[in-house]
């Protein structure tokens, strides 16, 4: 029986996804909240607060993440609203991951409320459905928290499977039936396809995951770069990434530098180079889906003397403009007026986008949303004309993106 579940070649992967995690933790802490429409909001004493997450009971009324609190209360007049209690969530997350680690050492946390497990070597503990049910029940019994678990031969299919039944679902997605279950789904429902990518794909008549799986790889690669090829492989059920407990150590810094064609003290030339370097770092950060909270500038002078200076930021950034503004400030503060031969810009103290939570009130959320439209326009023009046609349209201080307890949690998990 076990060989049926545990092939000689290949893996058995779980994706464990906590259901409505923040709201569920609050209900576990205060059982009187169970079964009631509950929302966690960054600023609940004001109508203008923004919904961070909500219980399934609230979602039935149409309450959604990032929705203004006033709108959520109109949809659900009995909505209970609470502020986030980050320490509580972190504690619950650590206990959840301890339960996963009791099954296998091959556990890869990807955020505070989800992670992968490789149970290929766990045949002695039962079949994969039995192990999944045991994990799910332990989390429910010991922490009073619901979760869904996807079982599949790779990480992508396991992730897609865990989304299929919520809350408290266990879904098996085999290679032989993923075409039937996944290919009819709208392209937006595919993990790894965001709104911008979906827009681009629809322009070439890719409406479903199946359309993507069967589209010529060359066109996808020319449109989306290496990510196009990667997404096509995923849509065909191919994903050879291992469950890597060390993956949380992976991102340390992303940087680039250039030697100038001639030594210079020309301020406009120096600014132009720093902007170009910042934009290159932004592209690489986008590809890695990371944000940065530290910017480092490297200056090498005509006599080969090299200095590096960095600035720790109050919030995470991801835009070339923000990287540029910080690097130019560093340059102005530390340049000794001597001719410059090389410049470098590096983003560090990185976190994956999914590990950073934006706690925004309505004002900053609207500001953020309006900026996103502006940045998309700039991106489109840059793509068309080859460079950013605007010099400076943002200030890093304008966008309040607070460091998340999720990042803190991952740091704690490494210890």
- CATH number of the domain enclosing 193: 1.10.150.20
Whether 196 maps to a domain, the answer reads yes
Binding residue numbers for Mg(2+): 17, 113
Q: For the ranges 4-8, 45-49, 78-82, 364-368, which has the lowest average pLDDT?
A: 364-368
The verdict on 209 and 288 lying in the same domain is no
CB-based contact 329:311 (threshold 8 Å): yes
Q: 399 in a domain, yes or no?
A: no
Q: What is the CATH number of the domain that holds 317?
A: 3.30.1490.100
Cβ atoms within 10 Å of 292's Cβ, excluding its own: 25
pLDDT tens per residue, range 155-185: 999 999 999 999 999 999 999 999 999 999 9
* Structural domains of the chain, count: 3
What is the reported pLDDT for 162?
97
* Backbone Cα Rg of the chain: 24
114 is catalytic: yes
- Mean local confidence (pLDDT), 21-50: 85
- Sign, CA dihedral 374-401-311-408, equals negative
Q: What is the mean pLDDT of the chain?
A: 84
258 and 354 fall within a common domain: yes
* Range with lowest mean pLDDT among 96-110, 117-131, 252-266: 252-266
**Are 112 and 90 in contact, with CB atoms under 8 Å apart?**
yes
CB neighbours (10 Å) of residue 201?
24
Q: Do 265 and 212 share a domain, yes or no?
A: no
- Quickly state the pLDDT bin for 41 (edges 50, 70, 90): confident
Judged by DSSP in three states, 28 sits in: helix
Which residue would you say has higher pLDDT here, 68 or 141?
Answer: 141
Q: Looking at 125-129, 199-203, 288-292, 302-306, which range is the least confident one? A: 288-292
Quick check: is 128 in a domain? Answer: no
Question: Which tops the pLDDT comparison, 47 or 244?
Answer: 244
pLDDT at 50: 79
**Weakest-pLDDT range from 38-52, 139-153, 369-383, 391-405:** 391-405
Q: Tell me the per-residue pLDDT of 327-340, one tens digit each, with 9 for 90 and over.
A: 999 999 999 999 99
Residue 265 has pLDDT above 90, yes or no: yes
Of 340, 359, 378, the position where a domain reaches its end is: 359
| Final residue in a domain of this structure, among 46, 61, 85 | 85
In a domain, 371, yes or no: no
pLDDT on residue 358:
41
The reported pLDDT for the residue numbered 268 is: 92
Strands 38-41 and 80-82: parallel
Last residue of a domain, one of 85, 103, 137: 85
Look at residue 393 and tell me if it is in a domain: no
Domain membership of residue 348 (yes or no) is: yes
Q: In terms of domains, do 222 and 296 share one?
A: no
Q: How far apart are CA 279 and CA 46, in angstroms?
A: 38
So what's the pLDDT on residue 410?
44
**348 and 284 in a common domain:** yes
How high is the pLDDT of residue 360?
Answer: 35
Does one domain contain both 223 and 286?
no
Among 140-154, 273-287, 348-362, 380-394, the range with the most confident prediction by mean pLDDT is 140-154
Q: Is 49 exposed, middle or buried (0-12, 13-18, 19+ CB in 10 A)?
A: buried
Higher pLDDT, 384 or 134: 134
Report yes or no on 347 lying in a domain. yes
Q: State the CB neighbour count (10 A cutoff) for residue 413.
A: 17
Q: Are residues 264 and 195 in the same domain?
A: no
Residue 374: its pLDDT value, please?
55
Residue-level pLDDT at 253: 81
- Name residue 115's beta-bridge partners: 16, 109
Long-range contacts of 390-398 (CB under 8 A, 24+ apart): 392/321, 392/324, 392/325, 393/321, 394/319, 394/321, 394/322, 394/325, 395/325, 396/313, 396/315, 396/317, 396/322, 396/325, 396/326, 397/314, 398/367, 398/371
Of 46, 57, 71, 114, the catalytic one is 114
β-strand 340-352 against 253-264: which pairing, if any? Answer: antiparallel
Report if residue 315 sits inside a domain. yes
Q: Kindly report the pTM of this predicted structure.
A: 0.65
The predicted structure's pLDDT at residue 90 = 84
Residue 106 scores a pLDDT above 50: yes
Over range 132-155, report the average pLDDT.
Answer: 97
- Shared domain for 219 and 258, answered yes or no, is no
Residue 86 has pLDDT above 50, yes or no: yes
Residues 264 and 225 in one domain: no
pLDDT band at residue 397 under the 50/70/90 scheme: very low
DSSP states along 46-82: STT-BEEEE-HHHHTTT--TT-BHHHHHHH-TT-EEE
* pLDDT, average across residues 254-260: 89
- Which structural domain, as residue segments, surrounds residue 230? 178-236
> Do 227 and 285 sit in the same domain of this protein?
no
| 267/190 same-domain check | no
Question: Of 206 and 47, which is predicted with more confidence?
Answer: 206
CA atoms of 411 and 249, how far apart (whole Å): 9
Give the pLDDT band of residue 47 (cuts 50, 70, 90). Answer: low
Asked which of 43-52, 83-92, 225-234 is least confident by mean pLDDT, the reply is 43-52
Region 135-149: mean pLDDT is 97
Please check whether residues 195 and 286 belong to one and the same domain.
no
Predicted confidence (pLDDT) per residue in 217-252, tens digit: 999 999 988 889 999 999 999 999 999 887 765 556
């Amino acid at each position: 029986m076990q060989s049926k579940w545990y092939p000689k070649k290949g893996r058995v992967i779980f994706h464990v996804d906590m259901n409505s995690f923040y709201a569920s933790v609050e209900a576990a802490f205060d059982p009187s909240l169970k079964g009631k429409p509950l929302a966690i909001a960054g600023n609940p004493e004001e109508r203008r607060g923004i919904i961070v997450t909500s219980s399934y009971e609230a979602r039935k009324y149409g309450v959604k993440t990032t929705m203004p609190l006033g709108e959520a209360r109109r949809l659900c007049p009995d909505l209970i609203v609470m502020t986030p209690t980050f320490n509580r969530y972190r504690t619950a997350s650590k206990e959840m991951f301890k339960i996963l680690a009791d099954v296998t050492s091959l556990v890869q946390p990807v955020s505070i409320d989800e992670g992968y497990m490789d149970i290929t070597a766990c045949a002695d503990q039962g079949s994969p459905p039995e192990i999944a049910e045991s994990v799910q029940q332990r989390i429910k019994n010991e922490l009073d928290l619901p979760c869904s678990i996807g079982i599949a031969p790779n990480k992508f299919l396991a992730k897609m499977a865990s989304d299929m039944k919520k809350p408290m679902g266990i879904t098996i997605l085999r290679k032989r039936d993923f075409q039937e279950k996944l290919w009819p789904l709208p392209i937006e429902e595919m993990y790894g396809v965001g709104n911008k990518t979906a827009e681009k794909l629809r322009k070439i008549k890719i409406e479903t995951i199946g359309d993507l799986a069967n589209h010529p790889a060359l066109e996808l690669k020319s449109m989306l770069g290496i990510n196009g090829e990667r997404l096509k492989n995923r849509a065909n059920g191919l994903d050879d990434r291992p469950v890597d407990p060390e993956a949380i150590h992976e991102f340390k810094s992303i940087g680039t530098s250039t030697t100038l064609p001639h030594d210079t003290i020309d301020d406009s030339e120096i600014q132009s180079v720093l902007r170009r370097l910042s934009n290159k770092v932004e592209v690489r950060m986008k590809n890695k889906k990371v944000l940065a909270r530290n910017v480092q500038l490297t200056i090498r002078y005509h006599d080969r003397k090299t200095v590096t200076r960095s600035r720790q930021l109050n919030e995470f950034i991801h835009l070339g403009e923000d990287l540029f503004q910080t690097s130019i400030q560093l340059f102005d503060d530390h340049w000794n007026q001597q001719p410059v031969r090389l410049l470098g810009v590096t983003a560090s103290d990185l976190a994956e986008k999914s590990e950073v939570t934006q706690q925004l009130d309505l004002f900053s959320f609207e500001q953020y949303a309006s900026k996103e439209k502006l940045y998309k326009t700039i991106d489109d023009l840059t793509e068309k004309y080859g460079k950013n046609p605007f010099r400076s349209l943002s200030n890093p201080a304008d966008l309040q993106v607070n460091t998340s307890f999720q990042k803190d949690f991952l740091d704690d998990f490494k210890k």
